[in-house]
């Protein structure tokens, strides 16, 4: 009888240890995804914070169409309004976030293309500094999105492995979505030179 009791205690301790190890590993992996998401939000916020400075610099140095500024301002407001709870993120939430950020990037690109018509603005040191900061921020965004995808992949892999999949379902650890390339990104742009 004593032997049976010892076996039961050892089995219970091993079971508890296995459960806590799997649960803790999932929590750690999930927190890595949350931290990576926080960095994604930080770099997008940095871009959003630079935009008013860029718009004001451009307004002060050039007579732009009002619609160009409104498009950038509206896209910035829309992008800033999309908030995601990282602990309950769905693919649809991430797609909405990405779409709003892509629209902001697109309107910002249109503003910068329009600047090409104003050589005095391109020579303005404030504008050049802001443009360099935006370029750096766009690179940071790409890096942080990659880091987020890597953390999400590790978490998703961890939660699907046996026996963790059992604990993931039991404790509600849900799959995390990934950032995806913009539609059409798989096609190389066409470059044509006109030598006439």
What mean pLDDT comes out for the span 153-159? 96
**Distance set, CA 161 to CA 20, 104, 158, 164, 166 (Å):** 16, 38, 5, 5, 9
Residue matched to tokens 């046996």: 162
What mean pLDDT comes out for the span 139-161? 96
pLDDT tens-digit series, residues 115-138: 877 787 777 888 889 889 999 999
pLDDT tens-digit series, residues 3-47: 777 777 666 666 666 767 888 999 999 999 999 999 999 999 999
The b/e string for 41-68 (b: 16+ C-beta within 10 A; e otherwise) is eebbeebbebbeebbebbeebbebeeeb
Neighbours of 152 (CB within 10 A): 23
Burial class (CB in 10 A: 0-12, 13-18, 19+), 106: middle
Q: Which of 86, 66, 115 is nearest to 176 (CA)?
A: 86
Instruction: Give residue 80's pLDDT band: very low, low, confident or very high (50, 70, 90).
Output: very high
Q: What is the pTM of this model?
A: 0.82
- CA Rg value for the chain: 25
Contact 79, 103 (CB under 8 A): yes
**Could you tell me the fold of the domain covering 16-171?**
de novo design (two linked rop proteins) (1.20.1440)
User: Which 3 state secondary structure label does DSSP give 29?
Assistant: helix
What mean pLDDT comes out for the span 172-191? 74
Does residue 92 surpass a pLDDT of 80?
yes
* Sign of the torsion angle spanned by Cα atoms 160, 166, 167, 172: positive
Instruction: Give residue 61's pLDDT band: very low, low, confident or very high (50, 70, 90).
Output: low
Domain ranges of the chain: 16-171
Does residue 189 surpass a pLDDT of 70?
no
Instruction: Give residue 64's pLDDT band: very low, low, confident or very high (50, 70, 90).
Output: low
């Amino acid at each position: 009888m004593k032997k049976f009791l010892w076996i039961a205690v050892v089995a219970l301790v091993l079971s508890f240890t296995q459960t806590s190890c799997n649960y803790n590993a999932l929590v750690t992996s999930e927190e890595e995804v949350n931290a990576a998401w926080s960095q994604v939000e930080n770099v997008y916020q940095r871009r959003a914070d630079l935009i008013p400075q860029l718009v004001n610099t451009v307004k002060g140095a050039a007579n732009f169409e009002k619609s160009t500024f409104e498009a950038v301002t509206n896209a910035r407001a829309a992008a800033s309004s999309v908030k995601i709870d990282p602990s309950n993120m769905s693919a649809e939430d991430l797609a909405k976030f990405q779409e709003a950020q892509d629209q902001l990037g697109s309107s910002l690109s249109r503003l910068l293309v329009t600047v090409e018509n104003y050589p005095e603005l391109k020579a303005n040191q404030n504008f050049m500094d802001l443009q360099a900061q935006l370029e750096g921020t766009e690179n940071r965004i790409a890096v942080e999105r990659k880091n987020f995808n890597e953390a999400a992949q590790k978490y998703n892999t961890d939660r699907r492995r046996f026996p963790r999949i059992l604990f993931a379902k039991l404790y509600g650890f849900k799959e995390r979505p990934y950032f995806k390339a913009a539609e059409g990104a798989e096609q190389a742009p066409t470059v044509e030179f006109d030598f006439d």
